């Protein structure tokens, strides 16, 4: 297999995902600061951020630097003349003369692909608006594997705004390659789009859509929480009510399913209570650490 | 001794200050570009700036890089979703997965401590609003020691806005561990807060509060100038008058006390006239150089 | 010869230009990612950008990093207190304590020189408002030499806004040291300033001013396109008309002069049509690559 661009979770077969996970595992000691690497020495990654995403950017930059690589960074690209004055293709062709790999975050769907089509160096999509965030989905899969030892056979609940979250969409795209059961927990206004259910049907995977978080907790091995954003609601009272019904707390999970794993792409803004931080199954900060290992694996794979 | 976080000048005993100065002295050849180091190779410092401070940030980053370490930088954090969406504790826990040490500048008092309490890696306070700026105070002490050969026995004047300057407050906190006499030169509106005088009383240190810069120059071995900020005054005419009465010029110092050392945390905006730049005792740009050495010492100490 | 600052194309004799080109050629394999260098290991470049210029900044930073050097970066300097609070000279003296070389972009003419006069370390002007952009001109010369094998004897057309483009002005300043013929293609409102024609007269170089792009294409070995900026025109209809008359397309150049070289400082916003990208003589992205080699050469020369 030869990786080139990382643009969409659609591009991966199960064997691709497994390969990335194998590489990520290999790089864990480097991500965990136990070992120093030089595998990417002499390589330069360009971080091009057309909207702020400090967490994702620093995760990629850390991955690069801990393997001996270097980084050139352009944040606030949305205000730069390079952004106003030229096409994404021209920008990519320019950056290609500087860097060995491009990591791009952009508010518009398809922007990473547009860049990838213009250049020969690999392009990694670090989030393209309402589109995809494939490396987030890969680190989520990796985290489940690591926390549970396997993915096949698990029941995984996703909670919150399943309609708008690109993280959820990319995640479902990857999970359909495994023998999992999915539980979607969302209010009517924020249900998972039908196209994703269709994809699961094609794979003959079981899923259910429910609105009760307690029930989901009971049935699931993994509970993936997401934020519910105020601005999605016209009725503010409805928002307040929903927000409160989708809060993961220690009282809830320890009583119902103390062996569950609780995940979140961060930032959390209330949907996981602070008392959860000492809960053994709370994996959200471990996700961050795994993210560095997964990105190390990806950067290493595409630099071969 | 084991250093962990550098949050406040309150945390230091005299022996701690001396240890940091010893380390800073050791690193001077590296700060002065005479030697290249690799002591921090494989270490990553996170620069988190929630308000701009180019001077302080680049000083820390230079210290790290000249010792072989690397840096991940996030400026404009105040506009990032990471800042809006989550607590400082959560941000710190995320950055902990990337970096070996956090340097944080934030407009609110206590912010660095909040981060430090959330993580195991060291956190350095690079200015927390009206709170503290401990590394500035340490480099100021270091500069006096280097310029004068000692600190005990000196008379040190501080001039300008002694009420609001966190630099001054952190400086006094450190100086009280030495046998110094302090002279505070400020207009009535901008006098040093009583709590600092109390601290000096507790140590039985001598000090006086005067308003005449000439007199202070005559009596002092070191004169530490600070800016008087326009926005502190309701009466603009009063401001203009005061501003002009606290200007250090070559004519003044050479006539009254040509052996004095003149310091300033920079930027200066008129309170030190340009003709001072060739004055032998003008140490304000040497402070910048010493700042790199002191930060090298600190980074090295807390990475042990 | 001893290089110190790179402030203006006025400072170069022909032998200086040749020396830089020789160094640039030497560094081409490094710029083209074929070789890794360590010539600048232990050196730190400060990127100080008082206005955004992602292309130029990343070009310099890439040059530095691919030769083993490191970079401290301050973008958005125009909003920093360092910029508001102090003179350029003071800022330069501060940065001098951190870095081995300063690269500065600033909206005001003479700003780079102001910094250079204040410090002992080299300062490189990366664009000072309507002033100069000497490294752009050097990479343009280098590109012609590389594409054509020589500069003497060529006819070079410059097209577009010749009045305001500092790139053009710096370019003409360098070209007058060669035996070239220049053709200036511009509307009446945007003609090359008389002072530059005078400089050519002094060197007894031939030139002509015409308004017809087709004729220029026919006569020239190299055609250097530039942008025509809307905001220069009071009459919008006039702008639209002019804009369209200075567009380089494949249909045009292949019919009239298929062996011509077409250059552009980028970004292009319509004055070079997309079908030009596959045209053999289109050198605008090769200019970007050459820019890294030229800046490597300069950084290496001034660090000796």
Residues 6+ apart with CB under 8 A from A165: A226, A227
Strand segments (E) across A75-143: 101-106, 123-128
Using a pLDDT cut of 70, give the percent of chain B over it.
98
Instruction: Report pTM.
Output: 0.96
Place of tokens 């009760």: A212
CB contact under 8 A, B268 and C90: yes
Contacts of C65 in chain A (CB under 8 A): 44, 70, 72
Where in chain C do CATH 3.40.50.1370 domains reside? 9-132+288-302, 135-287
Q: Is the Cβ–Cβ distance between A40 and A66 less than 8 Å? A: no
Q: Kindly indicate the confidence band of residue A1, based on its pLDDT and cuts at 50, 70 and 90.
A: very low
Say which of B42, B74, B85 has its CB closest to residue A58.
Answer: B74
Mean of the pLDDT values across residues B92-111? 96
- Check residues A303 and C147 and name the one with the higher pLDDT: C147
pLDDT band for A85, please (50, 70, 90 cuts).
Answer: confident
A151 to chain B, minimum CA–CA distance in Å?
Answer: 24
pLDDT of res. B295: 98
pLDDT, one tens digit per residue, over A202-255 is: 999 999 999 999 999 999 999 999 988 777 777 888 888 888 889 999 999 999
Task: Note the CATH number of domain B135-285.
Answer: 3.40.50.1370
3-state secondary structure of A156: strand
Residues of chain C with pLDDT under 50: 1-2
**For the ranges A182-186, B102-106, B267-271, C228-232, which has the lowest average pLDDT?**
C228-232
Q: What is the mean pLDDT of residues B103-113?
A: 96
Residue with tokens 């495994």: A178
What's the pLDDT score for residue A228? Answer: 85
CB contact under 8 A, C70 and B65: yes
**Averaged pLDDT, A260-272:** 94
Q: Supply A164's token pair.
A: 């708008």
The residues of chain A that CATH labels 3.40.50.1370 are 9-133+289-302, 135-287
pLDDT averaged over every residue in chain A = 94
The pLDDT score that the predictor gives to residue A84 is 63
The C-alpha atoms of residue B152 and residue B175 are separated, in whole angstroms, by 9
pLDDT band at A90 (very low <50, low <70, confident <90, very high): very high
Q: Which percentage of chain A shows pLDDT scores above 90?
A: 85
Other residues' Cβ atoms within 10 Å of the Cβ of residue A267: 18
Instruction: CATH number for A135-287: choose from 3.40.50.1370, 3.30.70.980, 3.30.70.2080, 3.40.50.720.
Output: 3.40.50.1370
DSSP, res C279:
-
pLDDT in tens, A31-82: 999 999 999 999 999 999 999 999 999 999 999 999 999 999 999 888 776 6
Q: Indicate where chain B has its CATH 3.40.50.1370 domain(s).
A: 9-132+288-302, 135-285
Considering only the beta carbons, identify the residue of A36, A55, A269 that sits closest to B94: A55
Question: Angle C280-C23-C93 (CA atoms, 0-180°, nearest 5)?
Answer: 115
Whether the predicted pLDDT of B289 surpasses 90 = yes
Q: Which residues pair with A89 in a beta bridge?
A: none
The mean per-residue pLDDT over the stretch B84-97 comes to: 91
Ramachandran bin of A129, using left for φ above 0, alpha for ψ from -120 to 50, beta for the remaining angles = left
What token pair was written down for A181?
Answer: 């059961």
Q: How far apart are the first and last CA of chain B?
A: 11
What are the tens digits of pLDDT across the range B275-287? 999 999 999 999 9
The CATH number fitting domain B9-132+288-302, selected from 1.10.3720.10, 3.40.50.1980, 3.40.50.1370, 3.20.20.80? 3.40.50.1370
Lowest-pLDDT range of A2-11, B91-100, B154-163, B166-175: A2-11
The single residue listed with the structure tokens 């680190």 is: A139
Under 8 Å between Cβ of B94 and A285: yes
Q: What is residue C229's predicted lDDT score, i.e. its pLDDT? A: 78
Could C74 and B65 be called an inter-chain contact, meaning their C-beta atoms sit closer than 8 Å? no
Confidence check on the interface: ipTM exceeds 0.85, yes or no: yes
CB pair distance less than 8 Å for B72 and A53: no
Three-state secondary structure call for residue C123:
strand
CATH says A9-133+289-302 is which class?
A: alpha beta
| Closest alpha carbon to B216 in B155, B277, B170, B175 | B155
Region A253-276 average pLDDT: 95
Instruction: Say what the pLDDT of residue B1 is.
Output: 40
CA distance B4 to chain A (A): 18
A300-304, B222-226, C296-300: the lowest-pLDDT one: A300-304
* Rg, C-alpha atoms of chain C: 19
pLDDT in tens, C137-151: 999 999 999 999 999
């Amino acid at each position: 297999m030869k990786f080139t661009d990382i643009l969409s979770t659609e591009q991966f077969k199960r064997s691709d995902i497994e390969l990335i996970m194998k590489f990520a595992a290999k790089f864990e000691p480097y991500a965990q600061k136990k070992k120093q690497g030089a595998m990417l020495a002499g390589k330069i990654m360009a971080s091009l951020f057309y909207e702020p995403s400090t967490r994702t950017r620093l995760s990629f930059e850390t991955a690069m630097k801990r393997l001996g690589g270097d980084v050139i960074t352009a944040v606030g690209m949305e205000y730069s003349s390079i952004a106003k004055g030229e096409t994404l293709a021209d920008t990519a062709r320019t950056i290609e003369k500087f860097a060995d790999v491009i990591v791009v975050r952009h508010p518009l769907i398809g922007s990473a692909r547009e860049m990838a089509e213009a250049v020969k160096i690999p392009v990694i999509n670090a989030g393209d608006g309402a589109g995809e965030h494939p490396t987030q989905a890969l680190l989520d899969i990796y985290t489940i594997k690591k926390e549970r030892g396997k993915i096949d056979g698990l029941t995984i609940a996703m909670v919150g705004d399943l309609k708008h979250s690109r993280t959820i969409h990319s995640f479902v795209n990857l999970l359909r390659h495994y023998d999992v059961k999915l539980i979607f927990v969302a209010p009517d206004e924020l249900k998972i789009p039908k196209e994703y259910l269709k994809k699961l049907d094609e794979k003959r995977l079981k899923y259910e859509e429910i609105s009760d978080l307690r029930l989901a907790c009971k049935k699931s091995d993994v509970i993936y929480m997401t934020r519910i954003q105020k601005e999605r609601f016209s009725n503010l009272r409805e928002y307040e009510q929903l927000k409160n019904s989708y809060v993961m707390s220690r009282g809830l999970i320890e009583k119902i399913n103390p062996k569950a794993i609780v995940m979140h792409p961060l930032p959390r803004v209330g949907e996981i209570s602070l008392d959860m931080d000492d809960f053994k199954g709370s994996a959200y900060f471990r996700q961050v650490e795994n993210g560095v290992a997964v990105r190390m694996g990806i950067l290493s794979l595409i630099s071969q």
